Amino acid sequence: MFAFSVFKTLFSTQTWSKQVLTYSIINSSKELSLDDTKAAFRYGFDQLSTVISKEFIEQRANSTSDREDISISFFTPGLNGIGLIVSSSWQESIYFNGNEKWKKYIIGEKVDPKQRDITWEAMNQILNLFKIDGLPNSDKISLDAKYSDSNGNYVLPKYV
């Protein structure tokens, strides 16, 4: 376990010290188009760039270039040992439960409590990934818990 912790710390430090980080979206939920998934993550990474001064570039999944710094995928619970979770961040990866009802909301649209907002959850897991891996000052960043106004209409989430 000690060797794993040391490797993880060294890898994370090397990865997060880079000014430009790459990410790949391996697949999408059956509830979302790949374009909606990409848009949610692009927005999340753009918002994080304003508070941590890093640049994020999407790299095509299974690209022949270097391995991405962050991989993003949807999974079917139970097939990979992750269990029945909504989403998770761990070791330069972000996982989403592909069986959840995901939605890419449009500003002003009525929020359905039975459909999870992919943009908010993407931002939540991006931030969790950096906090878990100890990015300096990541503990000073938080995600606004609300993504609807007082009338239940969608508003874009933001880091505060």
48/79: higher pLDDT:
48
Determine the Cα–Cα distance for residues 64 and 98; give it in Å rounded to an integer.
26
Segment 120-158, tens digit of pLDDT: 999 999 988 877 666 666 778 889 888 999 999 999 999
Options 3.40.50.300, 3.40.390.10, 2.40.50.100, 3.30.70.600; CATH for 20-140 is 3.40.390.10
Strand 87-90 relative to strand 93-97: parallel, antiparallel, unpaired? Answer: antiparallel
Q: Chain-centre distance of CA 52, in angstroms?
A: 15
Q: Is 56 exposed, middle or buried (0-12, 13-18, 19+ CB in 10 A)?
A: buried
Segment 56-75, tens digit of pLDDT: 999 987 765 678 888 899 88
What is the pLDDT at residue 138?
72
* Per-domain residue ranges of the chain: 20-140
* pTM summary value: 0.81
What is the pLDDT at residue 100?
86
